[in-house]
């Protein structure tokens, strides 16, 4: 694997051998099928290239255009690290999954449990749900007097996040009185929603979610960068990694652009009935990267109308699994269940720890043979075992290798997935940047809660007309 000249870390690698008929046999994708999509792929590339930095493609420029904001993030993060012992992100969906994934990838796997001097930054929590038990549990482990809350919502009005805002501002006012606003840092859109108004009204320190950066594409802006910096992550290296991947994807030729090749292969696979993509990192550090990817892929591509207004129902369903844990849970289905999945294995070349397995149990050969090996060898052997089992069963799989997990490779990986998603949206001819399907449930839940505004009252009336439930079906 080559070193990237920009981020000075080895490049991540996409190996699609096991997607292709040359390796997988008749269930694989042939080069002719890829060639047949050459024009469509070029067009997808060209559309994304031509609109770089514009409209909802604002995120494509994030690796390059944030010098001033990065300086502000670093300065503010340093202050937070000095002043607070706990840092809580309030946000949901795209305003939470990136921070969670990056923290898990780049910090100690038991970060919060480390003693303060080893941690180097505040304890870190992301409240991305409104489960009352979880909220009560958080209050049991934090002291609001020494906690900084980063309220993240691009729209500035998401019910989950704003209800959390109300809960914590109330708690802060009771605990620290007039100083309450010093505990709040907001990250929100510049000119819409209530949070920016509250920010101005209360003088909160704040960061702006730039225009053209949707929630699930926002990890490389203050949404993701600020929490990462607070926890000591090298955000400049992350951005360099993203820029490095961007540079590798500057071609309309699928053989020269890994994200474009990936989009084309997933497009063909889905056309062939592989309606599911299971992302299976073989590393706990990447466990939540799979969650982040699932939202990106699902919310971007699950659409019922094409850009030119024709009805469609498209989108490959992403699911997550963890190697090796899910070998003992999901793999049976992946190898012998329906031929409807692509398995994306994520491999780590060099783990940050090495654990040797001691010798012992000499009387039991199958136990004893493990002695003298490392867990590093075992996890990779099991990944290769899974890859082989999938191959033998005629299942499409691919492997993304991170030579090591660091800020540079994580930046590459996230940008790779974002770009792949944008190309996939082009191939499907849908808008990969909206989420109208989410709106219905939002409006319906406000109606259920009895919001008096006209749109919710109308929804209440509509909901009252739904079919009555029959006791017959309730057990």
The residue ranges that bind ligand PA5 (CB under 6 A) are 92-95, 153-155, 158, 161, 214-216, 299, 435
In the bound complex, what is the minimum distance in angstroms from residue 161's beta carbon to ligand PA5? 5
Verify whether residue 362 is a known catalytic residue. Answer: no
In the bound complex, what is the minimum distance in angstroms from residue 170's beta carbon to ligand PA5? 20
Strand ranges in 36-94 using DSSP code E only, listed in sequence order? 86-90
Strands 341-350 and 396-404: parallel
The span from the CA of 300 to the CA of 40, in Å, is: 19
Judged by CB, which is closer to ligand PA5: 93, or 212?
A: 93
Verify whether residue 442 is a known catalytic residue. Answer: yes
Name the catalytic one among 75, 174, 373, 442.
442
Judged by CB, which is closer to ligand PA5: 389, or 444?
A: 444
In the chain, what is the greatest distance between 2 CA atoms, to the nearest angstrom? Answer: 76
CB-CB contact of 297 with 51 (8 Å): no
The span from the CA of 95 to the CA of 268, in Å, is: 31
Collapsing DSSP states into helix, strand and coil, what is residue 104?
helix
Judged by CB, which is closer to ligand PA5: 155, or 445?
A: 155
Name the catalytic one among 299, 418, 424, 426.
299
Strands 311-314 and 205-209: unpaired
The span from the CA of 130 to the CA of 14, in Å, is: 37
In the bound complex, what is the minimum distance in angstroms from residue 327's beta carbon to ligand PA5? 30
Judged by CB, which is closer to ligand PA5: 155, or 384?
A: 155
Name the catalytic one among 5, 110, 310, 328.
328
In the bound complex, what is the minimum distance in angstroms from residue 210's beta carbon to ligand PA5? 13
Judged by CB, which is closer to ligand PA5: 28, or 99?
A: 99
Query: Backbone phi, then psi, for 312, in 5-degree steps?
Result: -155, 165
Query: Backbone phi, then psi, for 14, in 5-degree steps?
Result: -110, 120
The span from the CA of 261 to the CA of 427, in Å, is: 12
Query: Backbone phi, then psi, for 120, in 5-degree steps?
Result: 80, -15
Q: What is the DSSP string of 405-442?
A: -SHHHHHHHHHHHHHHHHHHHHHHTS-TT--HHHHHHH
Judged by CB, which is closer to ligand PA5: 102, or 261?
A: 102
**Hey, which residues does 343 pair with through a beta bridge?**
278, 397
CA angle 200, 204, 210 (to 5 degrees): 75
In the bound complex, what is the minimum distance in angstroms from residue 469's beta carbon to ligand PA5? 29
CB-CB contact of 425 with 259 (8 Å): no
Residue number of the CB closest to ligand PA5 reads: 215
**What residue spans of 231-286 are helical by DSSP H?**
235-248, 258-271
In the bound complex, what is the minimum distance in angstroms from residue 122's beta carbon to ligand PA5? 22
Judged by CB, which is closer to ligand PA5: 59, or 351?
A: 59
In the bound complex, what is the minimum distance in angstroms from residue 437's beta carbon to ligand PA5? 11
Quote the distance between the C-alpha of residue 67 and its chain's center.
Answer: 24
Q: Position of tokens 């294995």?
A: 345
* Active site amino acids: 299, 328, 442
């Amino acid at each position: 694997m080559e070193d990237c000249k920009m981020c000075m870390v080895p490049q991540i690698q996409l190996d699609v051998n096991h997607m292709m008929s040359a390796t997988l046999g008749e269930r694989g994708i042939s080069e002719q099928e890829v060639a047949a999509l050459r024009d469509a792929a070029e067009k997808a590339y060209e559309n994304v290239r031509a609109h770089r930095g514009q409209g909802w493609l604002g995120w494509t420029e994030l690796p390059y255009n944030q010098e001033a904001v990065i300086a502000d993030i670093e300065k503010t993060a340093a202050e937070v690290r000095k002043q607070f012992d706990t840092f809580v992100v309030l946000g949901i969906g795209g305003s939470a999954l990136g921070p969670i994934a990056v923290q898990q990838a780049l910090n100690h796997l038991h970060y919060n449990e480390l003693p303060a001097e080893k941690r180097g930054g505040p304890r870190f929590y992301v409240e991305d749900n409104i489960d009352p038990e979880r909220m009560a549990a958080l209050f049991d482990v934090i002291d609001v007097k020494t906690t900084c809350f980063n309220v993240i919502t691009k729209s500035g009005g998401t019910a989950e996040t704003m209800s959390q805002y109300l809960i914590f501002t109330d708690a802060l006012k009771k605990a620290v009185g007039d100083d309450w606003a010093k505990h709040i840092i907001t990250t929100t859109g510049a000119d819409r929603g209530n949070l920016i108004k509250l920010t101005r009204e209360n003088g909160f320190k704040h960061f702006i979610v730039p225009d053209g950066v949707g929630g699930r594409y926002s990890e490389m802006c203050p949404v993701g960068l600020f929490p990462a910096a607070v926890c000591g992550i090298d955000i400049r290296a992350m951005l360099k990694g993203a820029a490095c991947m961007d540079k590798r994807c500057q071609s309309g030729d699928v053989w020269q652009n890994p994200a474009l090749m990936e989009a084309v292969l997933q497009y063909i696979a889905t056309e062939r009935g592989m309606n599911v993509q299971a992302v299976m990192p073989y590393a706990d550090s990447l466990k939540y990267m799979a969650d982040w990817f699932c939202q990106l892929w699902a919310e971007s591509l699950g659409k019922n109308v094409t850009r030119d207004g024709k009805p469609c129902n498209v989108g490959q369903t992403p699911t997550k699994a963890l190697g090796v844990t899910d070998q003992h849970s999901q793999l049976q289905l992946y190898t012998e269940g329906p031929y409807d999945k692509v398995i994306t294995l994520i491999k780590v070349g060099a783990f940050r720890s090495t654990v040797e397995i001691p010798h012992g149990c000499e009387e039991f050969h199958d136990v004893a043979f493990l002695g003298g090996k490392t867990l590093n060898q075992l996890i990779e052997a099991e990944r290769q075992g899974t890859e082989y089992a999938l191959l033998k069963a005629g299942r499409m799989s691919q492997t993304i290798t991170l030579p090591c997990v660091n800020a540079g490779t994580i930046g590459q990986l996230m940008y790779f997935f974002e770009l792949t998603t944008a190309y996939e949206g082009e191939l499907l001819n849908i808008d990969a940047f909206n989420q109208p399907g989410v709106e219905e449930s939002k409006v319906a839940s406000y109606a259920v809660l009895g919001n008096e505004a006209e749109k919710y009252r109308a929804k209440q009336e509509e909901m009252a007309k739904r079919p009555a439930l029959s006791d017959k079906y309730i057990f």
